[in-house]
């Protein structure tokens, strides 16, 4: 690698290229937001009172709100409070020391604005520009007095509201949930990770990312990375290598007495139903059978809504067969399917088993236990 290439890697862009959709969304959103705020800036004699100086920092606010809405710096609290307290601090500074030299007043205005925004948990980069432009246009803005804070807050709030509506209309998340209370923070992140909100916040603090990511963003990223890592680990393993090939099946004509006996003798939650060609046509759940047996002991006049809506109608007595209780097959894959493609389905507790087929022929089933056993063998 040449010195020029090394320099480019160190000083070149670090962000990835945006997709065409994201690029178009940022352009349209920022243009719409600034058009709305621009109308406010020109209304009610704004153009004649020097408030157009404060219109400029809102362009930077628009970049955050519409281009990087997931950033904590772009959230409504940061935008509105950050810009407003920056203007408030600068006005206070200019009122107390109107004859202060420009370089000193600019330095104190920007530095103080940053300190106050941090103290208010409302850090917003355009707030620094608000402070600086207030100093530079002091001759036009000071006659307005504290009234200056109202248009600053109103224009920022309108821009944020436009961002909320625009992102909601285009299907992108903008508003982030507030920090969880201490009692809730001890809970794992949405059940995806063995990390609490406090753990995630500690990681953000450790790597100085508290103002770039929220704990929810970090939790989602870690969960996605963990899922992707496991998926790649299983990429070379096919369903045919993991499946249980010793099948326990019933036919559509198998009596429910035999089905109940199979459930009694084997610790399974469901049984595949196959036709005479070995093709999967359905499944019988242990829970459904137990419900049916329980309902059989109840008086016919006390049938529940569950019974009346249940279909097909149950046969009574020894003629009841598996076909009467059979459900549709839940999920079927081929032998060559990578196990990694099934992790999401197996992680949910709604999937009893995944049928593995060779063409249309049922050759095995995969349960969560099969995947856990394979994972343990890989790690050992």
Identify the CATH number of the domain in which residue 331 sits: 3.10.580.10
Compute the average pLDDT of residues 275-293. Answer: 85
Establish if 176 belongs to a structural domain: no
Establish if 8 belongs to a structural domain: no
If asked whether residues 347 and 326 sit together in one domain, one would say: yes
Establish if 178 belongs to a structural domain: no
Establish if 132 belongs to a structural domain: yes
pLDDT exceeds 90 at position 233: no
Q: What residue numbers bound the domain in which 221 lies?
A: 186-230
If asked whether residues 153 and 264 sit together in one domain, one would say: no
Establish if 174 belongs to a structural domain: no
If asked whether residues 310 and 364 sit together in one domain, one would say: yes
Read off the pTM. Answer: 0.54
Domains held by the chain: number:
3
> Residue by residue, what is the 3-state secondary structure of the chain?
CCHHHHHHHHHCCCCCCCCHHHHHHHHHHHHHHHHHHHHHHHCCCHHHCCCHHHHCHHHHHHHHHHHCCCCHHHCHHHHHHHHHHHHHHHHHHHHHCCCCCHHHHHHHHHHHHHHHHHHCCCCCCHHHHHHHHHHHCHHHHHHHHHHHHHHHHHHHHHHHHHHHHHHHHCCCCCCCCCCCCHHHHCCECCCCCCCEHHHHHHHHHHCCCCCCCCHHHHHHHHHHHHHHHHHHHCCCCEHHHHCECCCCCECCCCEHHHHHHHHHHCCCCEEEEECCCCEEEEEEEHHHHHHHHHHHCCCHHHCCHHHHHCCCCCCCHHHCEHHHHCECCCCEEECCCEHHHHHHHHHCCCCCCEEEEECCEEEEEECHHHHHHHHHHHHC
Establish if 73 belongs to a structural domain: yes
If asked whether residues 251 and 363 sit together in one domain, one would say: yes
If asked whether residues 194 and 326 sit together in one domain, one would say: no
If asked whether residues 156 and 253 sit together in one domain, one would say: no
Establish if 14 belongs to a structural domain: no
pLDDT in tens, 55-97: 788 999 999 999 888 888 899 999 999 999 999 999 999 989 8
pLDDT in tens, 108-165: 999 999 999 999 999 999 999 999 988 988 877 777 778 778 888 988 999 999 999 9
If asked whether residues 104 and 216 sit together in one domain, one would say: no
């Amino acid at each position: 690698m040449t010195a020029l290439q090394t320099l480019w890697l160190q000083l070149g862009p670090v962000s990835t290229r945006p997709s065409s959709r994201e690029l178009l969304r940022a352009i349209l959103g920022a243009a719409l937001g600034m058009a709305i705020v621009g109308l406010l800036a020109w209304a009610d004699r704004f153009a004649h009172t020097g408030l157009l100086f404060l219109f400029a920092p809102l362009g930077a606010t628009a970049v955050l709100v519409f281009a990087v809405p997931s950033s904590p710096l772009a959230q409504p609290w940061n935008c509105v409070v950050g810009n407003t307290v920056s203007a408030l601090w600068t006005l206070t500074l200019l009122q107390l020391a109107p004859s202060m030299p420009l370089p000193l007043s600019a330095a104190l205005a920007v530095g103080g604005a940053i300190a106050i925004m941090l103290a208010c948990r409302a850090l917003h980069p355009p707030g620094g520009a608000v402070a600086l432009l207030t100093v530079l246009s002091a001759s036009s803005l000071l006659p307005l007095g504290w009234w200056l804070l109202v248009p600053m807050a109103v224009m920022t709030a309108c821009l944020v509201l436009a961002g909320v509506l625009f992102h909601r209309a285009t299907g992108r998340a903008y508003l982030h949930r507030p920090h969880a209370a201490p009692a809730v923070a001890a809970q794992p992140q949405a059940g995806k990770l063995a990390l609490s909100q406090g753990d995630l916040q500690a990681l953000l603090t450790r790597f100085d990312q508290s103002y770039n990511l929220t704990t929810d963003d970090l939790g989602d990223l870690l969960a996605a990375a963990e899922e992707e890592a496991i998926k790649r680990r299983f990429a070379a393993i096919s369903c045919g290598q993991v499946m249980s090939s010793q099948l326990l099946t019933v036919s559509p004509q198998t009596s429910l007495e035999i089905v109940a006996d199979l459930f009694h003798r084997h610790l399974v939650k469901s049984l595949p139903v196959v036709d005479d060609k070995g093709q999967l046509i359905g499944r019988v759940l242990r829970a459904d059978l137990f419900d049916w047996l329980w309902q059989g002991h109840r008086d016919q006049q006390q049938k529940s809504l569950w019974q009346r809506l249940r279909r097909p109608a149950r046969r009574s007595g020894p003629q009841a067969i598996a076909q009467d209780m059979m459900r549709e097959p839940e999920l079927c894959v081929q032998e060559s399917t990578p196990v990694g493609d099934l992790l999401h389905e197996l992680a949910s507790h709604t999937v009893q088993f995944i049928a593995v087929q060779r063409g249309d022929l049922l050759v095995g089933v995969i349960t969560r236990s099969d995947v856990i056993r394979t994972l343990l063998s890989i790690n050992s």
